[in-house]
Structure 1
Amino acid sequence: MEKKSVIARLNKVSSPDGDYLVIYRANGNFRAFNYLMEVLHIFDRQDLFHLYDFMREQYSEVTLDGFALILWGDLKIMMESLTEGNEQSDFWSGQQDWKIVTWRLYESCGVCILEFEDGIVIHMLVERRYPLSKDLLQRMLDLGLEVERESSVALDLIRFIKQQIDEE
């Protein structure tokens, strides 16, 4: 089996349609995108973790703006521990007001997405426990998980959510 080519660099490209980030792989292939959700269709878990590591290493000392800042924020919320006192813990407040529009699973990379009425999108790893309220978890189950096809990952995620509700 051929080993997949890793991410070699990221570039910001501005166009009349807006800003894009271009992911260049070591083998010369590249892909432009302007939302994390766009790459979830083509990324697997290895790609996702590599993108996070790459951005953390390359951009930790750089002031980001535009889409790069949004991407970095999405990746940090998804990947980093959200413990008390963490600057991101405020992000999770106000869940009682969050109005979920969709709850979707991208199985290839193990990410589920919550989209809200106000346009906010949260990307979450399926196996990670996030500080979601029991009420929000129940609203997720009531809405239903959107999947491309029924799978053990989707069923395990639903069981995991039910277990979290029962534990509270």
Structure 2
Amino acid sequence: MRADGKSQIYIIFSHMLRSFDMEDLETLYKLVKAKYESTSPVEDLDLVLWNDLKTMFEPHVEDKVWKNQQDYKVLSWKLYDSCGVHFLRMQHMQIYMLVEKKYPLTPSTLTMMLEKMLMIDYESEMAYQHLKFIIK
């Protein structure tokens, strides 16, 4: 629910990212973090959302998602330009990452990302800058 009274229901996180900007994403993260500061999510969808947001905003080298990445092949790589998020779909795992943050990706994962090529809906400066950053 937005301040202007408009609301939208999303079932799939990637659909939400298509219409969110960075402010929307940060607000969602703050709301979900506040909700689960003292408790853990019980329902599967809440757990998935919380884990995706936590991985995105609070990446820790020791997290399972980073330790296990060498076990999975990158299937696709997509940029959600409106909110500055890129998405890796891997075998048995998916990772949402903020363009502006550094994540503990292995050289092998980075190579697979570049081989798959970044999927974007339209040419953007953010995509160009992001690729330059990855290649360095």
Task: Name the TM-score, length of structure 2 as normaliser.
Answer: 0.91
- Structure 2 gap segments, 5+ residues each: none
**Which residue does the alignment assign to 1:19?**
none
Question: Is 2:26 aligned against 1:32?
Answer: no
One-letter identity of the residue aligned with 2:105: L
Query: How far apart are the structure 1 equivalents of 2:110 and 2:35?
Result: 35
One-letter identity of the residue aligned with 2:134: I
State how many pairs are aligned: 135
Describe the superposition over 1:1-23 as per-residue Cα deviations: whole angstroms up to 9, x where unpaired. Answer: xxxxxxxxxxxxxxxxxxxxxxx
Alpha-carbon offset, residue 102 of structure 1: 0.8
Q: Percent identity?
A: 36
Report the CA distance shift for 1:34/1:113 in structure 2 as closer, same or farther (over 3 A).
same
| Structure with larger RCO (C-alpha < 8 A, sep 6+) | 2
The partner residue of 1:135 within 103, 108, 125 is 108
The partner residue of 1:147 within 117, 120, 132 is 120
- Structure 1 gap segments, 5+ residues each: 1-23, 164-168
For residues 22-101 of structure 1, the aligned pairs below 5 Å read 24-64=1-41, 65-83=43-61, 86=62, 88=63, 90-101=64-75
One-letter identity of the residue aligned with 1:96: Q
The partner residue of 2:84 within 84, 88, 110 is 110
The DSSP-based 3-state class of the residue aligned with 1:30 is: coil
Higher strand share: 1
Task: Name the TM-score, length of structure 1 as normaliser.
Answer: 0.75
Runs (4+) of structure 1 exceeding 3 A deviation are none
